[in-house]
């Protein structure tokens, strides 16, 4: 940046600096989102119930959309997606068309999601303050 700016150039210089700052913050936040998603997948895998291990190992993350200002990441179970809701919230046990009991849920997705949201919030505050 130059040491002296003519008054008629001030608006252009300020706009350029703000644009550069905005892009730097966007890049830092996008990186933070990816890091938080990776950590969330690790947390889900660590807390997921394990019978054969296929459900636990099936957790993945995928960038579904990314442009200059935005990134969206999907966290999903590729091996046994139908089990996620049943294991998280519990379900009835049915035998011969009748309810034979109830299995309590094991909260492993929600807790990891909340932790990732808190981590991302902290990282976003740091990115903006830089």
Instruction: Write the pLDDT tens digit of every residue in 58-114.
Output: 999 999 999 999 999 999 999 999 999 999 999 999 999 899 999 999 999 999 999
The full set of domain ranges for the chain reads 7-129
119 is written with which tokens? 């981590």
Q: In angstroms, rounded to a whole number, what is the distance separating the alpha carbons of residues 75 and 44?
A: 10
Under DSSP, is residue 105 helix (H, G, I), strand (E, B) or coil? coil
Q: Look at residue 90 in the predicted model and tell me its pLDDT.
A: 93
Length of the chain counted residue by residue: 130
* Sign of the four-CA dihedral 22, 27, 33, 39: negative
Q: Look at residue 52 in the predicted model and tell me its pLDDT.
A: 87
Q: What pTM was computed for the model?
A: 0.83
96-115 b/e with 16+ CB inside 10 Å = b? Answer: eeeeeeeeebeebbeebeee
């Amino acid at each position: 940046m130059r040491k002296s700016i003519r008054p008629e150039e001030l608006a252009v210089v300020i706009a350029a600096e703000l644009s550069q700052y905005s892009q730097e913050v966007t890049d830092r936040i996008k990186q933070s989102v990816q890091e938080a998603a990776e950590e969330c997948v690790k947390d889900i895998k660590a807390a997921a119930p394990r019978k054969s291990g296929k459900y636990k190992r099936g957790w993945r993350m995928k960038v579904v959309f990314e442009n200059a200002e935005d990134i969206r990441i999907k966290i999903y179970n590729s091996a046994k997606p139908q089990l996620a809701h049943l294991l998280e919230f519990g379900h009835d046990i049915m035998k011969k068309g009748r309810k034979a009991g109830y299995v309590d849920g094991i909260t492993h997705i929600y807790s990891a999601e909340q932790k990732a949201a808190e981590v991302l919030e902290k990282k976003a505050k740091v990115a903006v303050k830089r």
